[in-house]
């Protein structure tokens, strides 16, 4: 996985990997440990591991971690596929089929095909291009995508055992312990040739250079569509009958869906957290990732609020219109599908360090949407700044749009 070269970028923190190597006497891959704990290193230290072990039979975790403590880390990886068969021709056919499908949606430079050194292929779709966000649920998401593509493309040789939370992955540029062939990125002209050309290409170590990655809105939309399908499947499995048993039919309440009017002045004057982030963007030209998500969750309900969101973020030096619009579309789509996209509560904002830290808003009964109706529960919901953001009467003011041309 190619990380940003700029260490100030959010994803640059996911720089730690686990190490393992093949032990001939045991005929298995063994994780390296230190003081009986997983040995986690900065990816920049992997080269010394390669040298110390003659570059043979080496592995790192497919997952990158943001801390050296796996139990308290969040995972990040490129979307990956393992294609393996005793018959090279079968593996090769599936690899070509999958590759040709993927490059319809993902930039070719972001879809990497590796020959693993014996009889299989690894295909990785770069995380930055896809807009993959760190999450410990990624193994489930990636497995779901692989299963979907297995059925769609009639793939016969996908290995689904690789989608676990501690998966080790043969180190790029290392030699296979049996064949001594290198795991190399296969250029398209070699990939589309034949078996002998691929084998010959892997007799020497290639540069295996991965270009600096850029966010692709098209690739991100393709990836997000799978996450929506997965979340919809989860929603279908929920036991809504429990709501009826617990609250009864009298809990139903029809909601008059009035058109929302965005009230920026009221929002900024009543929520110090929003005001603080607004000022940070203007003064520091930078906002943390979580702060941007918080703002997006509140300011993505009307055209005016989206305009205001762009106005805030456009003050940041790394403002990216395409990426911002993709995040907005994601929040809106999840709300439409009923699988998330809800505004940050004050509790959540405080827990991630972007809230005011001292919310005094009163709690109200939580409503759960079922079809076109809302069920009122007796559970108290945490308040959210969104109650100040919209009303049926315009209370706009001085905090209007100052968005840069885009």
How far is 178 from 378, CA to CA, in rounded Å? 63
Give me the pLDDT at residue 129, please.
98
More confident residue, 338 or 154: 154
Token pair 């593996």 is at which residue?
91
Asked if the model's pLDDT at residue 402 lies above 90, the reply is no
Same domain, 305 and 375: yes
Give me the pLDDT at residue 365, please.
63
Residue ranges of E strands in 142-259: 168-170, 184-185, 252-253
Asked if the model's pLDDT at residue 268 lies above 70, the reply is yes
More confident residue, 270 or 363: 270
Give me the pLDDT at residue 248, please.
56
- Which helix H or strand E contains 41, and what residues bound it? strand 40-42
- 357-376: average pLDDT: 64
**Percentage of residues in the chain with pLDDT exceeding 70?**
85
Q: Which residues are CB-contacts of 256 (< 8 A; sequence separation ≥ 6)? A: none
Asked, for residue 2, whether it belongs to a domain, the answer is no
Give me the pLDDT at residue 91, please.
97
Give me the pLDDT at residue 260, please.
78
Asked if the model's pLDDT at residue 144 lies above 80, the reply is yes
Beta bridge pairs of residue 64: 76
Asked, for residue 230, whether it belongs to a domain, the answer is no
Same domain, 331 and 252: yes
Give me the pLDDT at residue 202, please.
98
Asked, for residue 107, whether it belongs to a domain, the answer is yes
More confident residue, 86 or 359: 86
Asked if the model's pLDDT at residue 369 lies above 50, the reply is yes
Which tens digits make up the pLDDT trace of 32-68? 998 888 999 999 999 999 999 999 999 999 999 999 9
Q: Average the pLDDT over each of 54-63, 216-225, 377-386 and give the range with the smallest value.
A: 377-386
How far is 359 from 353, CA to CA, in rounded Å? 13
Structure tokens at 266: 């009221």
How far is 231 from 234, CA to CA, in rounded Å? 5
How far is 148 from 71, CA to CA, in rounded Å? 30
**Percentage of residues in the chain with pLDDT exceeding 90?**
76
Asked if the model's pLDDT at residue 3 lies above 70, the reply is yes
Asked if the model's pLDDT at residue 234 lies above 90, the reply is no
Q: Is residue 48 packed enough to be buried (19+ CB in 10 Å), middle (13-18) or exposed (0-12)?
A: exposed
Q: Which of 27, 52, 46, 73 is nearest to 177 (CA)?
A: 27
Total structural domains within the chain = 2
Give me the pLDDT at residue 257, please.
53
Give me the pLDDT at residue 396, please.
46
Give me the pLDDT at residue 356, please.
86
- 341-357: average pLDDT: 90
Which tens digits make up the pLDDT trace of 169-187? 999 999 999 999 999 999 9
Give me the pLDDT at residue 338, please.
82
Same domain, 207 and 250: no
Asked, for residue 228, whether it belongs to a domain, the answer is no
Asked, for residue 253, whether it belongs to a domain, the answer is yes
More confident residue, 37 or 397: 37
Give me the pLDDT at residue 263, please.
92
Same domain, 199 and 343: no
Asked, for residue 1, whether it belongs to a domain, the answer is no
Domain stop point among 217, 234, 261: 217
Q: Which residues are CB-contacts of 306 (< 8 A; sequence separation ≥ 6)? A: 299, 300, 328
Q: How far is CA 92 from CA 56, 153, 291, in A?
A: 24, 14, 45
Give me the pLDDT at residue 14, please.
97
Give me the pLDDT at residue 373, please.
57
Same domain, 167 and 280: no
- 151-175: average pLDDT: 97
The model's confidence at residue 244, banded by pLDDT at 50, 70 and 90, is low
Give me the pLDDT at residue 395, please.
44
- 275-294: average pLDDT: 96
Asked, for residue 307, whether it belongs to a domain, the answer is yes
Same domain, 178 and 288: no
Which tens digits make up the pLDDT trace of 315-332? 999 999 999 999 999 999
How far is 185 from 111, CA to CA, in rounded Å? 10
For 203, half-sphere exposure in the C-beta direction (CA atoms, 13 angstrom radius) is 7
- Which helix H or strand E contains 378, and what residues bound it? strand 373-381
pTM confidence score: 0.86
Q: Average the pLDDT over each of 71-80, 82-91, 342-351 and give the range with the smallest value.
A: 342-351
Give me the pLDDT at residue 11, please.
95
CATH code of the domain covering residue 183: 3.90.920.10
Q: What is the 3-state secondary structure (H, E, C) of 343-377?
A: CCCHHHHHHCCCCCCCCCCCCEEEEEEECCEEEEE
How far is 119 from 399, CA to CA, in rounded Å? 61
Asked, for residue 192, whether it belongs to a domain, the answer is yes
**Domain that residue 371 falls in:** 242-391
């Amino acid at each position: 996985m190619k990380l940003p070269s700029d260490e100030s970028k959010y994803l640059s923190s996911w720089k730690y990997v686990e190490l393992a190597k093949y032990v001939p006497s045991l005929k298995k891959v063994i994780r390296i440990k230190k003081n009986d704990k997983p040995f986690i290193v900065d990816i920049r230290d992997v080269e010394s591991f390669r040298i110390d072990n003659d570059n043979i039979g080496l592995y790192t975790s497919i997952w990158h971690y943001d801390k050296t403590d796996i139990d308290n880390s969040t995972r990040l990886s490129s979307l990956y596929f393992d294609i393996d068969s005793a018959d090279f021709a079968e593996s090769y056919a599936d690899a070509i089929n999958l590759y040709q499908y993927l490059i319809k949606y993902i930039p070719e430079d972001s879809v990497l095909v590796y020959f693993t050194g014996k009889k299989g292929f690894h295909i990785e779709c770069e995380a930055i291009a896809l807009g993959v966000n760190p999450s410990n649920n990624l193994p489930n998401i990636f497995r779901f995508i692989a299963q979907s593509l297995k059925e769609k493309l009639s793939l016969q040789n996908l290995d689904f055992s690789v989608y676990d939370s501690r998966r080790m992955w043969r180190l790029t540029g290392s030699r296979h312990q049996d064949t001594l062939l290198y795991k190399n990125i296969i250029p398209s002209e070699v990939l589309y040739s034949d078996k002998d050309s691929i084998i010959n290409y892997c007799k020497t170590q290639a540069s295996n250079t991965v270009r600096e990655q850029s966010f692709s809105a098209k690739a991100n939309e393709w990836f997000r569509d799978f996450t929506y399908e997965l979340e919809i499947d989860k929603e279908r499995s929920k036991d809504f009958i429990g709501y009826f048993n617990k609250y009864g039919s009298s809990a139903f309440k029809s909601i008059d869906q009035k058109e929302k009017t965005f009230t920026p002045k009221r929002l900024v004057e009543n929520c110090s957290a929003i005001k603080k982030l607004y000022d940070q963007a203007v003064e520091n030209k930078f906002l943390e990732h979580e702060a941007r998500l918080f703002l997006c969750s509140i300011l993505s309900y009307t055209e005016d609020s989206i305009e205001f969101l762009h106005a805030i973020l456009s003050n940041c030096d790394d403002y990216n219109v395409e990426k911002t619009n993709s995040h907005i579309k994601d929040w809106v789509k999840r709300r439409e599908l009923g699988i998330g996209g809800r505004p940050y509560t004050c509790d959540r904002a405080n827990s991630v360090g972007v809230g005011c830290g001292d919310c005094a808003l009163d709690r109200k009964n939580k409503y759960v949407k079922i079809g076109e109706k809302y069920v009122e529960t007796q559970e108290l919901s945490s308040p959210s700044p969104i109650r100040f953001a919209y009303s049926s009467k315009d209370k706009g003011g001085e905090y209007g749009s100052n968005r840069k041309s885009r």
